[in-house]
């Protein structure tokens, strides 16, 4: 039986501006199954970033239904939404968002501080994840002592610390060279094979080719949703 981790129907998002109401998303309908690997694509202004913010419970739709892990977000207050988000989703951003004065170990363990885990337990979990992403020898290094690709690996380890079912990655290779980008995408593929649902926002076709499903936005609507033949051939 297929388990849907994301169910969206009739979703709209408007913004109030001095010129009036500006519609960004228009009647979006989408289902993402557990273990899916999705690339969300589209030109600037197509609505893909706004859609990503709604998927990550960082913003709410103006109209429509969004169920995350079978839980409708419509009736949730801020604290309930934060708990659902932290339990279900790990975030990876283009800019890494690491704390420059903290060690890699402390950067990865940061989400656990809010879970009231002991320092020993936080360090143990963080060490395992840094080893998983190939950085076990850099536990006490600072972000400015490693490369951009390594920083993104730290960000991925941090995203995994709460054992999320979904990873949302917004242009995760945007600041990286092509070789390092391939290494990061290979890591995402490994995580997907382990059962984690991966959703990546990208404007790069070669990055989207790593996903098994490609969804394209244009003018606030989904205009294409297809399985990726190249993924089937490679993986």
Among candidates 117, 113, 58, which has minimal Cα distance to 84?
Answer: 58
Q: Please give the Cα distance from 47 to 26 (Å, whole number).
A: 9
Q: Which CATH superfamily is domain 4-234 in?
A: P-loop containing nucleotide triphosphate hydrolases (3.40.50.300)
User: From residue 17, how far is each of 21, 23, 43, 46 by CA, in Å?
Assistant: 6, 10, 22, 18
Query: 166 and 4 in contact (C-beta within 8 Å)?
Result: no
Give residue 233's pLDDT band: very low, low, confident or very high (50, 70, 90). low
Query: 107 and 154 in contact (C-beta within 8 Å)?
Result: yes
Q: Does the pLDDT of residue 195 top 60, yes or no?
A: yes
Q: Does the pLDDT of residue 79 top 70, yes or no?
A: yes
Q: Does the pLDDT of residue 232 top 70, yes or no?
A: no
Length of the chain: 235
Of the listed ranges 4-8, 104-108, 114-118, the least confidently predicted one is 114-118
Give the per-residue pLDDT at 229: 81
Give the per-residue pLDDT at 234: 60
In the chain, where are the structural domains located?
4-234
Report residue 120 as tokens. 């020993």
- β-strands 20-33, 166-170 pairing: unpaired
Q: Does the pLDDT of residue 115 top 80, yes or no?
A: no
Q: For 46-75, how does the pLDDT look when each residue is reduced to its tens digit (9 = 90+)?
A: 999 999 999 999 999 999 999 999 999 998
């Amino acid at each position: 039986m297929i388990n849907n981790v994301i169910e969206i129907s009739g979703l709209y998002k408007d913004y109030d501006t001095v010129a009036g109401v500006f519609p960004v998303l228009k009647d979006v309908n989408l289902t993402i199954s557990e273990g899916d690997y999705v690339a969300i694509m589209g030109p600037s202004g197509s609505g893909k970033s706004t859609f990503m913010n709604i998927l990550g419970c960082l913003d709410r739709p103006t109209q429509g239904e969004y169920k995350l892990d079978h839980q409708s977000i419509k009736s949730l207050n801020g604290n309930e939404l934060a708990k659902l988000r932290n339990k279900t989703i790990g975030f990876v951003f283009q800019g890494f968002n690491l704390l420059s004065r903290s060690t890699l170990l402390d950067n990865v363990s940061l989400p656990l501080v809010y879970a009231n885990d002991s320092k020993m337990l936080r360090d143990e979990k963080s060490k395992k994840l840094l080893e998983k992403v190939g950085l076990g020898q850099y536990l006490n290094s600072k972000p400015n002592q490693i490369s951009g690709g390594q920083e993104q690996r730290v960000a991925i380890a941090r995203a995994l610390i709460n054992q999320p079912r979904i990873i949302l990655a917004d242009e995760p290779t945007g600041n990286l060279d092509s070789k390092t980008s391939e290494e990061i995408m290979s890591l995402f593929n490994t995580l997907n094979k382990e059962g984690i649902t991966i959703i990546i926002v990208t404007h790069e076709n070669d990055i989207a080719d790593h996903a098994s499903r490609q969804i394209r936005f244009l003018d606030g609507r989904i205009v294409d949703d297809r399985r990726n033949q190249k993924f089937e051939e490679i993986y």
